[in-house]
Amino acid sequence: MSLLDQVHDYPFLNYRELALDPRLDEARRSGTLTRIRLPYAGEAWLATRYADVRKVLTDPRFSRAAAMGPDVPRQMPDPPFVSTIMDVDRPEHGRLRRLVAVAFTERRIDGLRPYVRQVAHQLIDDMLRQEPPVDLIQALALPLPMTVFCRTLGVPLEDRAEFRRWTESLVALRRITAEEFREVVESLEAYLRDLIRQRREQPTEDLLSALVHARDEGSRLTEQELISFGVTLLAAGFETTAGHIASSTYLLLTRPGLWSQLRADPAGLERTVEELLRFVPLNGGTGLARVAVEDVEFDGVTVRAGEAVFVSTISGNRDEEVFPEADSFRRDRTDPAPHLAFGWGPHRCLGARLATMELHEALAALRDRIPTLRLAVPAGNVSWKTGTILRGPRELPVAC
């Protein structure tokens, strides 16, 4: 029986470390979309090839808003009950996106770079004062993007333990019930309402104040849109970057010669970061569904109006037709095609530039301050996350 004749249970979570589930590779090499079965509400299509992923993410015949419906295949028991900027279509999505895009301009991110560098070096100062082994995740990978996120959005740093607990719940796949998930979102919304009240009384220069201004003065945001923005930013603001810093450092320390090459070629760090973003899978193959609003043709497959399609960006980043030797990490890669680490099209991650800069500064600081950095345990003893949307090590013990 060919792959096209089968329906596969999804998500594909049979992977180790930085490898992909073999079923993703098989699906991609089949040459067209694959039929999948979600834990709830039935079957859908899965796009795994680079071109197909980009098509689904850019073609207006695929709707994110329609995927909020109760009968759309999904991973959680209950349909989504909170709508965010990721769950609306054009032109509404463009209106909302423009309101926050000002916080992520090239000029603003470049202006943050000295602060990010300062925080990274301060954290490494603290690392060097500790007895090895040191958990790189708790010492650098997590606190760096969390601290930067607090400054950007305007969340008090002293509240970081509380909202970290919430964000961990939001990226869990099956570790909490639907009711527990709802309670987390309600707690997060209550927290944001209090912050919004504070910004109304005492405006500051952070992103939250800018959004409050758009709500109160410009009449461009509803109160619920304002809350939803905060939920989205908290959910995606630092967990993804922390995971990428940890997984990227693991790769650089476990592939023979990579760390020494990075030290010997400081100018090559920017190219290395782009290859890390392409190669390191940040999720387990999961993603947000799109629903076809009319029939759409792919190679040998017709997606009918009303059918759901999921995309695997991590599979698209391993497409051999686009990236030669796609399963190999190559610091000298010069492929013209851009990677899909931050998605593509109208819903491409707004924080892509910030996340890339944080990864760059974290690795540069480690390279310059701890050139003899190494894993403190055998690579096979590193424990990896399971049962969550995001991949990465649970702990990363290092020494110098």
pLDDT of residue 155: 83
**pLDDT above 80 for 41:** yes
102-115 pLDDT per residue, tens: 777 888 889 999 99
Higher per-residue pLDDT: 221 or 192: 192
323-353 pLDDT per residue, tens: 999 999 999 888 889 999 999 999 898 889 9
Residue 1: pLDDT band with limits 50, 70, 90: very low
Q: What mean pLDDT comes out for the span 39-47?
A: 93
**pLDDT above 90 for 156:** no
Structure token pair of residue 356: 């890339």
Which of these, 31, 8, 2, 97, lies nearest to 299 by C-alpha position? 31
159-211 pLDDT per residue, tens: 877 877 777 776 665 566 767 777 888 888 888 888 888 888 888 888 788 77
pLDDT of residue 223: 77
CA-based radius of gyration for the chain: 21
Could you tell me the residue ranges of all domains in the chain?
Answer: 3-399
22-38 pLDDT per residue, tens: 999 999 999 899 999 99
266-288 pLDDT per residue, tens: 999 999 999 999 999 988 666 77
* CATH superfamily of the 3-399 domain: Cytochrome P450 (1.10.630.10)
| Mean pLDDT estimate for the chain | 87
In sequence order, which residues have a C-beta less than 8 Å from that of residue 194 and are 6 or more positions away? none
pLDDT of residue 123: 98
